[in-house]
């Protein structure tokens, strides 16, 4: 399971010209699910995402996590994160989870995040338009 997290001052996701999820300060989480992933991996990744210290403290150092700043998360499914790009000029998606497994783990991840911080979402499998103001920019690739 892969989470590409971006520290944002705001972010939103739109489907068919309608905003379906949006947040103010917090983390935009682009989530990729691989075929070997499980609820246990999802729980580990949730803990890592919610506790990763990417927000500035009083001294300007990245010492605070999204929970400590009373931030929010916007979780957007992104199967392309599971792509293998090692060979050729076309990505392979053979490591990606089946749509059923990916959707189940996506919703499980959101549920677990929502138990700790306000969580918004995109629409699994939809053609989405994601807007954000990346704060920093600060972007990290996390795996479980």
Residue 80: active-site member: yes
Strands 62-64 and 55-56: antiparallel
Residues 8, 34: Cα–Cα separation, whole Å: 26
Question: CB count, 10 Å around CB of 37?
Answer: 22
Residue tagged active-site, from 9, 80, 85, 143: 80
**Euclidean distance between CA atoms 66 and 82, whole angstroms:** 25
For 8, phi then psi, to 5°, come to -130, 155
- Residue 6, both tokens: 């971006």
Known catalytic residues?
A: 80
């Amino acid at each position: 399971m892969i989470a590409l997290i971006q520290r944002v001052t705001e972010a939103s996701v739109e489907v068919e010209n309608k905003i379906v999820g949006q947040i103010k300060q917090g983390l935009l989480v682009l989530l990729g699910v691989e075929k070997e992933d499980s609820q246990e991996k999802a729980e580990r990744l949730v803990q890592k995402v919610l506790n990763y210290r990417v927000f500035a403290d009083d001294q300007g150092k990245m010492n605070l996590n999204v929970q400590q700043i009373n931030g929010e998360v916007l979780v957007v499914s992104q199967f392309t994160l599971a792509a293998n790009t090692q060979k050729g000029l076309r990505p392979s998606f053979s490591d990606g989870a089946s749509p059923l497994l990916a959707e189940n783990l996506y919703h499980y991840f959101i549920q677990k995040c929502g138990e700790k911080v306000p969580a918004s979402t995109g629409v699994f499998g939809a053609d989405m338009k994601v807007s954000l103001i990346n704060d920093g920019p600060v972007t990290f690739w996390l795996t479980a």
